[in-house]
């Protein structure tokens, strides 16, 4: 199994920043799609950002201009830089890898809490 381990979550005030990391047990250069999802209390899990092997990215509208997904192939790590954080960004954030033929792997999640 491909292992994904998230880190970097925590408590931050509105307007602050966090950088989440997703460390993979295999070369991410061989993974077609990496993504960050989040799930807020009582809400469905939603995709936040995706990055493909060409480094093309996509974002949910609510985070455009504030979040940046990036990839460091040398470290087998995907990042989510989160700036100008808002209360509604509070959620558990999950890393996902999608292989060829649609096989997916998930990390265990990391909690992000925005509070005054």
Note the pLDDT tens digit of each residue in 30-75: 899 999 999 999 999 999 999 998 889 999 999 999 999 999 999 9
Q: Which residues pair with 114 in a beta bridge?
A: 12
Predicted pLDDT of residue 6: 98
Q: Is the pLDDT of residue 13 over 90?
A: yes
Note the pLDDT tens digit of each residue in 73-88: 999 999 999 999 999 9
**Encoded tokens for 46:** 């939603």
Query: What pLDDT sits at residue 27?
Result: 93
Q: What 3-state DSSP class applies to 61?
A: helix
What are the Cα distances from residue 29, in Å, to 4, 37, 75, 89, 100? Answer: 14, 20, 10, 29, 13
For strands 104-106 and 91-98, give the pairing: antiparallel
pLDDT of 42 reads 94
Report the Cα 1 to chain-centroid distance in Å.
19
């Amino acid at each position: 199994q491909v292992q994904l381990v998230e880190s970097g979550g925590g408590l931050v005030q509105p307007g602050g920043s966090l950088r989440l990391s997703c460390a993979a047990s295999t070369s991410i250069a061989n993974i077609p799609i990496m993504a960050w999802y989040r799930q807020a209390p009582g809400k469905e899990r939603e995709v936040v950002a995706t990055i493909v092997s060409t480094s093309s990215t996509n974002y949910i509208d609510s985070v455009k201009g504030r979040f940046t997904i990036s990839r460091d192939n040398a470290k087998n790590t995907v990042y989510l830089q989160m700036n100008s954080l808002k209360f509604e960004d509070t959620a558990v954030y999950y890393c996902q890898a999608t292989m060829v033929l649609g096989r997916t792997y998930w990390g265990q999640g990391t909690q992000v809490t925005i509070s005054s």
